[in-house]
Amino acid sequence: MKYMVKTASLLAALSLLAGCGTSASQSAVSETQETETKTEEQETVTEETPETEEKNVLVIYFSRTGEQYEVGEIDKGNTAIVAEMIAEETGADMYEILPKEDYYPYTYDELTDVALQEQNEGARPEYRDDVPDLSQYQTIFIGSPVWWGDWPMIMYTFFENEDLSGKTLIPFSTHEGSGLAGFDRKLSDTVKDSTILKGFSVRGYDAQNKQDSIREEVKNWLASLDY
């Protein structure tokens, strides 16, 4: 019963938040024409020097396995799937933010409790200190699940601790109704002097179960950003 009540309240929150998200596919459609022209131009310049060497791109993500909403028990997180697609399509390096001490529960119901408590307390959970040298990257895709309408608190720890100023940051989320949940605005509020480009969001269920079509969406979004 507790599970159902919590799920219902989270769902209510999700539907309220649903309007906040940015549909990457919508914005990608509006920029298709421009993208097509740019793709042609790129083909002539990038043959000898891979694009990512010039752009120094990194994909950073946080993601959970275990029991997740709508998808049941998963051994690869929804956001991890999208992060891998981005890295594969751009040739970027990847870094996974992992908690220093992984106290997050396995079950969805318990995880929502812990996440809500962290949010209410403004917690700053620590992450492992194996972060790569970020100074070598100019562009960073950064993504996570939406937790209670926001970035998980561990992401704020990362944003506040690491020097991301002067970089181009591109947010992405997986969610079950909240879309991008204002990730872009919250990121620019937290990391000063960075350039935030158009983000991407996808339902966790689709990331897990419709990978071919989601990869197409990812490609369209990347093309719209000129990657």
Ligand X SMILES: Cc1cc2nc3c(=O)[nH]c(=O)nc-3n(C[C@H](O)[C@H](O)[C@H](O)COP(=O)(O)O)c2cc1C
Interface residues with ligand X (CB under 6 A)?
Answer: 10, 13-14, 17, 63-64, 68-69, 77-80, 108, 111-112, 115, 145-149, 174-178, 204
Backbone φ and ψ of 69, nearest 5°: -60, 135
Please count the CA atoms within 13 angstroms of the CA of 126 that sit on its side-chain side: 5
Cα–Cα distance, 227 to 222 (Å, whole number): 5
In whole angstroms, the minimum distance from the beta carbon of 134 to ligand X comes to 22
Of the pair 155, 223, the CB lying nearest ligand X is at: 155
Cα–Cα distance, 64 to 68 (Å, whole number): 8
Short-list 162, 47, 182, 8, CA closest to 95: 162
Of the pair 141, 148, the CB lying nearest ligand X is at: 148
In whole angstroms, the minimum distance from the beta carbon of 143 to ligand X comes to 8
Of the pair 107, 195, the CB lying nearest ligand X is at: 107
In whole angstroms, the minimum distance from the beta carbon of 117 to ligand X comes to 10
Burial of 200 per CB tally in 10 Å (0-12, 13-18, 19+): buried
Task: Indicate the residue whose CB is closest to ligand X.
Answer: 204
Of the pair 17, 164, the CB lying nearest ligand X is at: 17
DSSP designation for 163: -
In whole angstroms, the minimum distance from the beta carbon of 81 to ligand X comes to 8
